[in-house]
Structure 1
Amino acid sequence: MNGNNSNFSRMHRKKRKNRGNQLLNSMIGLVVILILIVGFNIFTNSKDDEGKENIANTETQENIENSNEDGTNDDGESGLPADDEEESNDSESNDDGTDSGKSDNGESDGKDESEDTVTIVPNDEEIVVETIIDASWKPIGTVQTGEHVSIYKEDSVDWEEKKDAIAYATKLPKESLIYWMIKNGGGPQKSIGIVSTRDKSEKFRVYIEWVDGQGWQPVKMDILNTLDFEY
């Protein structure tokens, strides 16, 4: 009877030992699995962070390249070569009128040269605001040939060329003017025209002279304050 109990006790202890080993193995396996899961998550997060960093670096590089393409560097300064910047500055200087107004070949860049050639002459007449002499005035050209005879007949070629020369002096379109009088200017090749705009806001007395082979040329112009005088 005692022998049976001894055997039973040994079997019972063996079973409990086996259960303990199984439980220990299970716990070790669980720990290993947890370690693997944690390691995997750390590796995955590290990859994600690296990928995000690469994307951020790529976007930053693209922004820098786009900025350089727009002509500025990282400091916000012009990305043009030094020579190009000098040419750009030269162009801007010409645009704001600080240079001489001439191109490299000596031709005018479009500035009104007459501004430098106009002379204001004192005039004591009450009807005159100021008298202008412009050295840039040229003969207007002519279709007439042979010896010139001044004609004061409307619709004649000479009459129309007189009107052209007068309008040229005022810098207004011929059709926008009222020609109040065109008369002899004190000589066979001299004439005077009194004109105004159609609303009479601008009034002029223009002196013209004939230049052989080249036509009528303005020589002086009065800016008038009234048309109420004897022509």
Structure 2
Amino acid sequence: MGNFEENDEASRARKLAKRRKTNLILNSLITIVLLLIVFVTVKIFFGDGQSEAEKSDSVVVDKQLANEKADGDSGNEDEEEEVEEEKQDASDLEEESESADEELEEESEPTITEGGSSPDVKQTIVNPDWKPVGTTQTGEHQAVYDESSVDWQEMLKAISYATGIDGGNMTVWFLGNNGGPQSAQGTVSDKAGGPKYRVAIDWVDGEGWKPVKVEELK
């Protein structure tokens, strides 16, 4: 009798333990299902919002990149335009320089003839393109043959212009009147050596002394 009761209690204990195990498994499964439901719900509501925000951020970034690209293209176009303008300016300057050189070449073709106004003249040089050398003098002009005068210095400037001899390297053998109140004549040479030149110059009102004729002496 006692054994039967012990077996019955053991059987009920096993059933109770099995039931507890079953309940634990069921409760675990229910918890897992609830967690899955919560996760899916959060994903649906909050995940879409985050996705929209990311899309919005992506659109903003794309616009910024597009604007930066447009600015970069515009900057490149400006740089290309500046380069083209610089090339054009350089081309214009080169053309102007060539034109100026041509004009100088045309002006540097004087007429040269053998002999001159006296037997001691080897050849005579005349250039119709010679211009007055300018002046700082005002009012009525009168030739002044004084080495300390402005007029004297401007005469030597005209003679240097006609002969190509630098004023600092010029020896003046003679500078005086040439037969008229506004006409002068000078005989000069280069200090380093070379031929003597006799240069006739005329005064042009408001413009200074102008070379008229250069004679290279024997």
User: Structure 2 length as normaliser, TM-score?
Assistant: 0.52
Once the 2 structures are TM-superposed, how far is the Cα of residue 105 of structure 1 from its aligned partner?
A: 9.5
Q: Is the 8 A contact 1:178 1:196 kept in 2?
A: yes
Once the 2 structures are TM-superposed, how far is the Cα of residue 123 of structure 1 from its aligned partner?
A: 2.6
Distance 1:129 1:109, change over 3 A: same
Once the 2 structures are TM-superposed, how far is the Cα of residue 122 of structure 1 from its aligned partner?
A: 4.1
Q: Which residue of 1 aligns with 2:47?
A: none
Q: Which residue of 1 aligns with 2:197?
A: 204
Tell me the SS of whatever aligns to 1:159: helix
1:210 is aligned with what amino acid? W
2:168 aligned with 1:175? yes
Q: Is the 8 A contact 1:103 1:109 kept in 2?
A: no
**Match 1:156 to one of 109, 129, 149:** 149
2:215 aligned with 1:222? yes
Give, in whole Å, the separation in 1 of the partners of 2:185 and 2:172: 11
Q: Give the aligned CA root-mean-square deviation in angstroms.
A: 2.4
2:126 aligned with 1:133? yes
Larger radius of gyration: 2
Q: Deviations over 1:182-225 (max 9, x none)?
A: 01010000000000111431210000000000000000000112
Q: Structure 1 unaligned runs (5+)?
A: 1-101, 226-231
Q: Which residue of 2 aligns with 1:213?
A: 206
Once the 2 structures are TM-superposed, how far is the Cα of residue 165 of structure 1 from its aligned partner?
A: 0.6
2:105 aligned with 1:143? no
2:125 is aligned with what amino acid? I
The count of corresponding residues between Structure 1 and Structure 2 is 124
Identity value in percent: 42
Give, in whole Å, the separation in 2 of the partners of 1:173 and 1:108: 23
Q: Deviations over 1:91-140 (max 9, x none)?
A: xxxxxxxxxxx948983236533333x11234353311100001121000
Distance 1:205 1:106, change over 3 A: same
Q: Deviations over 1:124-174 (max 9, x none)?
A: 533111000011210000000000010011110001101111111001211
Give, in whole Å, the separation in 2 of the partners of 1:176 and 1:223: 18
Q: Is the 8 A contact 1:204 1:221 kept in 2?
A: yes
Give, in whole Å, the separation in 1 of the partners of 2:195 and 2:130: 20
Q: 1:22-101 alignment to 2 at 5 Å? A: none
Q: Which residue of 2 aligns with 1:71?
A: none
Q: Structure 2 unaligned runs (5+)?
A: 1-93
Distance 1:107 1:126, change over 3 A: same
2:216 is aligned with what amino acid? I
Q: Is the 8 A contact 2:165 2:189 kept in 1?
A: no
Give, in whole Å, the separation in 2 of the partners of 1:199 and 1:166: 17
1:107 is aligned with what amino acid? S
**Match 1:119 to one of 105, 111, 119:** 111
